[in-house]
Homo-oligomer: A and B are copies of this chain.
Amino acid sequence: MTSMNSPELGTRARNENVILEAAEHVFACHGYRGASVQAIAEAAGLPKSNVLYYVGSKRKLYVALLERMMSRWNAMLDDISEDDDPGEVLEGFIRSKMRLTQRHPQGSRLFAAEVLQGAPFLQEYLHGELREWVRARARVFEHWADKGLMDPVDPVWLIFLIWSATQHYADFEAQILGITDKTALGESEYRSVTEFLCHVILKGCGVRSAARVGPSRDRQAIQSKETI
């Protein structure tokens, strides 16, 4: 294994991957307490002892998953400035967040389950990094409102609106499938929802939509960013 860290993953990396995927699913379904190592092991197709051998403990596994999800989230974030175009920024945010939801629904649900139980493992992150990120964004939004580029809405509520509206399609997938009578949310649904959200939210905030003619430079930038 020391001799090869080449394209083909070593045994360790391969098994850890399998375990992480399985665990993300089980934790997302049942939360931290409700998930059992046995269930994760079965989902991974490995004996329980083997799972513990790789991940150390249930707690470490859970933390590793949360960290992976937060790093995906961080990789999605842009810095923005007052000089940027409000329409482009808002639309970019909506599209990025929606893409995150689409690509990592399990991770999104894992995050939701963690927050539902009071975010015991994410207190620090929420009160630190994320809070500052939101405040920075909020300041810019307020500046835009002052300049008359958008309605003077509460910028924090606006961020939460985008967050919730996109997150919903992962967390409440079961409800959406039940109601729309589909068996899965496909590319076309995600596209349709994204367009809808861009329309309603931008218009609702009095932001003129960014020029939308085919996939723009902006959109490609987002795509390449999200390809972790």
Which residues of A come within 8 Å of B, CB atoms? 28-35, 109, 112-113, 115-119, 122-123, 126-127, 130-131, 134, 151, 153-154, 156-158, 160-161, 163-165, 167-169, 171-172, 174-176, 178-181, 192-193, 196-197, 199-206
A-B CB proximity, top 7 nearest: A204-B204, A126-B178, A34-B34, A33-B34, A200-B204, A164-B168, A119-B174
B115 A174 Cβ-Cβ under 8 A: yes
Counting every copy of the chain, the complex holds 2
B192 A154 Cβ-Cβ under 8 A: yes
Q: A34-B30, A113-B31, A116-B29 in contact; A130/B203 too (CB < 8 A)?
A: no
A-B contact pairs, 16 of them (CB 8 A): A34-B34, A112-B112, A115-B175, A119-B175, A123-B178, A131-B181, A134-B179, A153-B196, A154-B192, A156-B179, A160-B165, A164-B164, A165-B165, A200-B204, A200-B205, A201-B204
A180 to B28, CA, bound (A): 26
Q: A31-B33, A160-B172 are in contact. List 14 more A-B contacts (CB 8 A).
A: A29-B117, A30-B34, A31-B113, A119-B178, A126-B174, A130-B178, A131-B181, A151-B203, A157-B197, A158-B200, A160-B168, A160-B169, A200-B205, A203-B203
